[in-house]
A and B are shown apart, each in its own frame.
Chain A
Amino acid sequence: MSTALTADELAARVEEFLAAHDPAQLQTDEDRLEWLRARFDAGLAWVSYPAGLGGLGLPRAMQGAVDAAFRAAGAPSNRPEVNGIGLGMAAPTILAYGTDEQKQRFLRPLWTGEEIWCQLFSEPGAGSDLAGVATRAVLDNDTWVVNGQKVWTSGAHNADLAILVARTDPDVPKHSGLTYFLCDMHDPGVDVRPLRQITGEAEFNEVFLTDVRIPDSSRLGAVGEGWRVANTTLNNERVAIGGRVAPREEGMIGVVAQTWRDHPERRTASAHDRLLRLWVDSEVARLTGERLAQKIAMGQPGPEAAAMKLSFARNYQQLSGLELEILGEAGLRYENQQGWTMVRPDHVSFTGRDAGYRYLRAKGNSIEGGTSEILRNIVAERVLGLPAEPRADKNIPWKESLR
């Protein structure tokens, strides 16, 4: 059958499913999980995925209506807010490179939220230069033995599985010696330690890997193909950043505009002009995102999303800094939920908690997901076609490069 469903037929399919699986009847967590599994098996989980893997092979644009219909019916949620790495990065990579067996094994529990994922990419010695990772994986019969240290792993303390990039061949240039794995976070060799950050809490972790054993059946893609596989993951991260159209005054500008409206006594002429400049910048960034989404819908995706992220980081940092100044005395206090007490949150909101937290957390926006400096290189090289940076380590065996 090659004819794709129309929007009306898809809506009817959702109605049919809801009639047969009434969300109002669900009592226990197990009921809700069974319901989510049934939704997956009906192809109504992520409709752009292939039939048999939670989807119906439909355009990604048709997902919104399905989600809205299920939400309106009070359907259980698969809690995407705690499994962003799984849904946004691991799943599309498994779909692109996984064997049939891997797709069958991993995608359903990933989507239902039974298994939470994290990302073991960055290392203390490999941040922007991700292809320089030093974590080693050595084959022992049909099992890989992994040793190394990963860092900036959000959600590692709650994760069941991880996407992992490790070095399998140090004798070839750095991009050629990497392999991509799906790692069991419950392996006894995995040690997760909180990494406390400038906000006082530990949103991220360090992950120490000591003789972690990964069966060769959990390798994603060919040995030595890890860099290409990892780029699939990272490109999906950028689509996720650039692909969503926000309403006006969503995000940090909404928070700071509200602070301005709530505090007439704190208004000054200079803060007013700065706020209006940032309001304009935020609105223009929103429109730029909308235009980019229209380009992507027309089939013109590309590295332009890197430019969006540059604007986003700058806006959030300038706005959150301005908000503290508007608040004045109140900006001197850091009294959000727990002050500086070390906690381990299960998800993060850039616009949550109080102004001091927002100011400090925004500092990460120009570092995480590609530093602003690396993003400028991407725009300059891949969009504008300017010469690439000289790379001293590109064509020599990884083990001979200076680190």
Chain B
Amino acid sequence: MSTPLALLDTDVETDLRITVRELLADRCPSDAVRAMYDGDRSIVGKLWKALGVDLGLAGLLVPEDQGGAGASAREAAVVLEELGFAAAPVPFLTSAVVATTVLLETAREGGSEPVSGLIGALASGEGTLALVVPFSTARNGRLATAMVDAAGCLSGEVTSVAGVLEADTLLVPVADGDRVALYAVEAGAVAITPVSSLDMGRQLADVRLDGAAGELLSGDAEAAIRTALDTGSALLASEQVGIARWCLEETVSYLKTRRQFGRVVGGFQAIKHRLADLYTAVESGTAAAHYAAAALAAGDPDWLVGASVAQAYCGDLAVYAAEEALQLHGGIGMTWEHPTHLYLKRAKADQIALGTPGAHRAALADFVNLPAAEA
């Protein structure tokens, strides 16, 4: 920690933030996200094409010599913060962050020909991928439940997987003795059952592999997969900050106009103090999320501490902000019509995703030498 990492946006990052925010303001109305809860997913494909292909965000983390934008975790964090701010239903986290990192890490360790083919598809936005593990998988969680037979056919069932409904290719971890192998499987070759999910903006699916043909990408992919999950944790914090910031700004703005007892409700000290505490928490979470992204982008060995701190803090922050937004909106916040519930559901699902805050605190105990009590 010699030179402090920059925790504010660079000019380029500010431009990216504005571009993404404006596109989402235009193309991601909350009624289209709400419609997903009633089965209308028509926004997903259009929005993902606009963001992933037209803006090139699908290949944001892919190096330029492999056809991508060659950006770093810092830019990915900016995108996720804006996606959180809009509660946007696109597979950026699952495909452009987690699946992409699995493949880039696999390639770095000497990946096979099909790996670079998939990276190329990600970079152009032609391919959308998903890593087939439960969305709740924590950093020490079990990765492989599927099996492979001698003919290279996969079988098994993995529940509550995020990003599968949008994906055309699935990355399936397969148990191979002590190792975890990684196979690519066409989405069309497996049984995918959509799950009625707490957050329908990131709808989960159960995946059943019944002798599906898989292409071996790596015989030893555990490190790559765990790095990808940690990367997802580090950057999910930015989505959580985006959720929290929307909740804060929307609530402040509403309470400046809502009147009761002949006064603006935002003028009551009981309300002002709650909003001041929420502001303090949102600013704190922003610093934590920016640090995690900056450390990751810089290849700073402290990045895993940064990721755990950011998840431990921001996982709870987004839920706290959404619950405050709902309460401080009063009855209107409880309605289906008002967008607050979209953020509450995203926040609560994100809190559980990639490990709960408690799981990240437990990881931190090892990183910073604060051992648990002897059992």
A residues lining the B interface (CB < 8 Å):
245, 247-248, 257, 260-261, 264, 267-269, 271-273, 275-277, 279-281, 283-285, 287-288, 290-291, 294-295, 298, 304, 307, 310-311, 373, 375-377, 379-381, 383-389
Contacts and interface: CB of A to CB of B under 8 A. Distances in A.
Contacts of B284: 284-285, 287-288, 311
A384 B361 contact: no
B372 A272 contact: yes
A161 to B, nearest CB: 36
Contacts, number: 131
B361 A386 contact: no
Interface stretch (B107-115, B133-141, B207-215, B273-281): B273-281
B272 A386 contact: yes
Contacts of A277: 312, 361
B256 interface: yes
B275 A257 contact: no
Given A291-B290, A294-B7, A307 B361 contact: no
A279 B273 contact: no
The secondary structure that dominates the B interface is helix
Interface in B253-303: 255-256, 263-264, 266-267, 269, 271-273, 275-277, 279-280, 283-288, 290-291
Nearest to B252: A384
30 contacts: A248-B1, A267-B372, A267-B374, A268-B373, A269-B372, A272-B372, A279-B368, A280-B309, A280-B312, A280-B313, A280-B361, A281-B313, A283-B288, A288-B287, A290-B4, A291-B290, A294-B6, A307-B276, A307-B279, A307-B280, A310-B280, A311-B284, A373-B273, A377-B272, A379-B280, A381-B272, A384-B276, A384-B279, A386-B272, A388-B267
B8 A294 contact: yes
Given A385-B256, A386-B252, A290 B287 contact: yes
Given A284-B284, A291-B286, 13 more contacts: A257-B370, A269-B373, A279-B370, A280-B364, A287-B290, A288-B283, A288-B287, A288-B288, A290-B291, A377-B273, A377-B276, A384-B275, A386-B252
Given A273-B358, A273-B361, A377-B269, A290 B7 contact: yes
Nearest to B302: A248
A264 B372 CA distance: 9
The secondary structure that dominates the A interface is helix
A125 to B, nearest CB: 22
Interface residues of B, number: 44
B50 interface: no
B365 interface: yes
A95 B44 CA distance: 60
Contacts of A283: 288, 309
- Across the A-B interface, give the 3 residue pairs with the lowest CB-CB distance, nearest first: A387-B267, A380-B272, A267-B373
A376 B373 contact: no
Given A287-B288, A294-B8, A276 B272 contact: no
A275 B370 contact: yes
Contacts of B256: 385-386
B331 interface: no
Contacts of A310: 276-277, 280
Contacts of B1: 247-248
A386 B283 contact: no
A375 B312 CA distance: 26
B374 A386 contact: no
Q: Which of B264, B276, B285, B369 has the most CB of A within 10 A?
A: B276
A288 B290 CA distance: 10
B373 A261 contact: no
A261 B371 CA distance: 8
Contacts of B362: 276
A272 B264 contact: no
A244 to B, nearest CB: 12
A387 B288 contact: no
A304 B280 CA distance: 9
Contacts of B4: 245, 290, 294
Given A280-B361, A307-B276, A386-B275, A287 B312 contact: no
